[in-house]
């Protein structure tokens, strides 16, 4: 049986490649319903009129805009893929009814999200791309880890769902248009960034270009980071707990200490690595208790900035968050996004009564790493196979990201650069975004056309050295800033508006 499945898979891959290189008669949208693909049941194939799409539910991230009223007409195909017993992967692929640009885009998810991210599919479709998304093989919200008790569902989420979605979506697009996509791109942030790296590491032929933002790739230490912050934010002793008011004090103090070093006072620290901030500056003086931190709160904040450190070996397993994004520490509390504690409770300890106060950063992290057989950890540094076939990797991360510490991505980039051979320097770029929080938001310029950047890079062969980002300002105006390829940073030239990216140049960092 196993040999037969391998043979079927090989024949399918051959047929897809043939379709990409040899145009055939296009299959109308409605007839895609009976398209025969391995381990796949197509459950919907219908034309959606321009502006008429309605998502089954709101976006999983509060406040994310989801306006489908301007979408063009498209062919909507839904399918369920079951490559192994116990696996049920749902996916959709949207195919422009007119003006397909000949390219395909896969979009990522966030956290443990068990749903298709329709809002992320809208923009690529509106720009002429065929686009696909998956529920990663289960149903559930971003902080719900309980599905992972089923090994095949955990494997689907960790790597299999995205690969299966990609292969099947490409085949559906090739059948519909009578020709395969010329290029395939991946766009994702957070878990979506991890998914993109997993594709580059494990399935080098799936994508020509990958944009991986704030990747959640160093999985187990990252979950310990989230749990450690939750411990501090929910400490039963008020003398140890950090409240939102304390976080605001920390953020403002950090910005005040570091902001002006780049020559522009704008609440954005251009190069956090060149500026140190000690929360001890906020420690309450004798007889004072307002607008300050107790000695124990100062130590709690210092422990978060220090990152996840093994208490026995003193090894830093996860760098701490960069000062300036402290207000986001609140997200790891139980009512918002307790992903770290649910991971350890449900998948590592497998004990619904487990308490976060008992987390041992030596014993429990080792236990979690031993159990990570589904490969949520995505740290393989050797990307030489992906680069050898022409693949391009765009890594980016907001410096004030409190959810996934930014220096984790710097560390991965440098390890991949060292391990991936001579082609790595021309095939991979890292952009660190000053003042930007997790995937978006913050004090900095956070709007970036990642899809446009990776598309242009793949087609032109010219690696980006400078990316223009923007943010809206009060009164309807906007600020634009350049983000420079690591390790360079943007420096103000000393003349002109500081809201205009043309007045900044990329320079080597100063220490």
Give 163-173 pLDDT, tens digit per residue.
Answer: 999 999 999 99
Does 391 share its domain with 357?
A: no
Under DSSP, is residue 382 helix (H, G, I), strand (E, B) or coil? Answer: coil
Does 417 share its domain with 284?
A: no
Under DSSP, is residue 90 helix (H, G, I), strand (E, B) or coil? Answer: strand
CATH code of the domain in which 443 resides: 3.40.50.1820
Amino acid 31: pLDDT: 98
List 401, 420, 440, 455, catalytic entry: 401
List 246, 420, 438, 455, catalytic entry: 438
pLDDT band at 511 (very low <50, low <70, confident <90, very high): low
List 87, 113, 190, 341, catalytic entry: 190
Does 17 share its domain with 154?
A: yes
Say whether pLDDT at 6 is over 90. Answer: no
Cα–Cα distance list, 351 to 149, 342, 354, 355, 420 (Å): 12, 10, 5, 9, 40
For residue 476 the two structure tokens come to 């309807």
User: Known catalytic residue: 397?
Assistant: no
Does 382 share its domain with 435?
A: yes
The residues facing 433 across adjacent strands are: 398
First CA to last CA distance, the chain = 62
Question: Could you tell me if residue 437 is inside a domain?
Answer: yes
- Of 329, 353, 371, the last residue of a domain is 371
Cα–Cα distance list, 388 to 182, 393, 411, 459 (Å): 18, 12, 22, 16
The whole-angstrom separation of Cα 322 and Cα 438 is 12
Using one digit for the tens of pLDDT, what is the confidence trace for 95-137? Answer: 999 999 999 999 999 999 999 999 999 999 999 999 999 999 9
Say whether pLDDT at 19 is over 50. Answer: no
User: Known catalytic residue: 438?
Assistant: yes
Does 235 share its domain with 355?
A: yes
Helices 363-371, 219-233: axis angle to 10 degrees equals: 140
User: Known catalytic residue: 252?
Assistant: no
Does 212 share its domain with 303?
A: no
Under DSSP, is residue 331 helix (H, G, I), strand (E, B) or coil? Answer: helix
Omega of the bond prior to 241 within 30 degrees of 0, cis? no
Residue 171, domain extent: 1-40+86-93+109-181
Does 400 share its domain with 316?
A: no
Q: What is the pTM of this model?
A: 0.94
Instruction: Work out how many domains the chain is built from and give that number.
Output: 3
Q: Is the dihedral of CA 95, 97, 102, 108 positive or negative?
A: negative
């Amino acid at each position: 049986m196993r040999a037969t499945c391998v043979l079927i898979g090989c024949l399918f891959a051959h047929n897809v490649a043939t379709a990409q290189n040899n145009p055939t008669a296009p299959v109308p949208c409605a007839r895609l319903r009976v398209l025969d693909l391995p381990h796949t049941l197509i459950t919907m194939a219908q034309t959606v009129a321009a502006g008429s799409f309605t998502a089954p539910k709101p976006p999983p991230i509060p406040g994310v805009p989801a306006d489908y009223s301007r979408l063009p007409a498209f062919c909507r195909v839904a399918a369920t893929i079951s490559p192994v017993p116990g696996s049920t992967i749902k996916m959709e692929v949207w195919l422009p009814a007119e003006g397909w640009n000949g390219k395909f885009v896969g979009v990522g998810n966030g956290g443990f999200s068990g749903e298709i991210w329709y809002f992320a599919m809208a923009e690529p479709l509106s720009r002429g791309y065929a686009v696909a998304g998956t529920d990663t093989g289960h149903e559930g919200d971003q902080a719900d880890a309980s599905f992972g008790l089923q090994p095949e569902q955990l494997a689907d989420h960790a790597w299999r769902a995205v690969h299966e979605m990609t292969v099947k979506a490409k085949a559906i697009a090739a059948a519909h248009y009578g020709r395969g996509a010329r290029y395939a791109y991946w766009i994702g942030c957070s878990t979506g960034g991890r998914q993109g790296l997993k594709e580059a590491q494990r399935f080098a032929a799936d994508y020509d270009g990958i944009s991986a933002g704030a990747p959640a790739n160093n999985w187990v230490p990252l979950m310990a980071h989230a749990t450690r912050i939750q411990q501090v934010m929910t400490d039963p002793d008020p003398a140890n707990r950090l409240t939102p008011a304390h976080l605001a004090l920390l953020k403002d103090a950090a910005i005040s200490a570091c902001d002006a070093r780049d020559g522009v006072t704008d609440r954005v620290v251009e190069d956090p690595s060149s500026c140190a901030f000690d929360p001890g500056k906020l420690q309450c003086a004798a007889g004072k208790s307002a607008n300050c931190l107790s000695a124990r709160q100062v130590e709690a904040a210092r422990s978060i900035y220090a990152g996840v450190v093994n208490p026995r070996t003193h090894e830093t397993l996860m760098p701490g968050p960069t000062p300036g994004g402290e207000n986001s520490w609140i997200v790891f509390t139980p009512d918002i996004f307790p992903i770290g504690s649910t991971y350890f409770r449900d998948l590592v300890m497998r004990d619904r009564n487990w308490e976060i106060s008992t987390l041992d950063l030596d014993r429990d992290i080792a236990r979690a790493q031993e159990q990570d057989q589904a490969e949520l950890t995505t740290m393989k540094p050797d990307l030489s196979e992906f680069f050898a076939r022409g693949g391009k990797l765009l890594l980016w991360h907001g410096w004030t990201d409190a959810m996934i510490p930014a220096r984790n991505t710097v560390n991965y980039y440098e390890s991949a650069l060292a391990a991936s051979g001579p082609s790595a320097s021309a095939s991979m770029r890292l952009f660190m975004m000053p003042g930007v929080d997790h995937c978006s938001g913050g004090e900095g310029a956070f709007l970036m056309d990642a899809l446009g950047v990776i598309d242009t890079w793949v087609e032109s062969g010219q690696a980006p050295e400078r990316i223009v980002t923007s943010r809206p300002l009060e009164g309807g105006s906007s600020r634009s800033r350049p983000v420079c390829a690591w390790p360079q940073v943007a420096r103000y030239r000393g003349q002109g508006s500081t809201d205009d990216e043309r007045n900044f140049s990329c320079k080597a960092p100063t220490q």
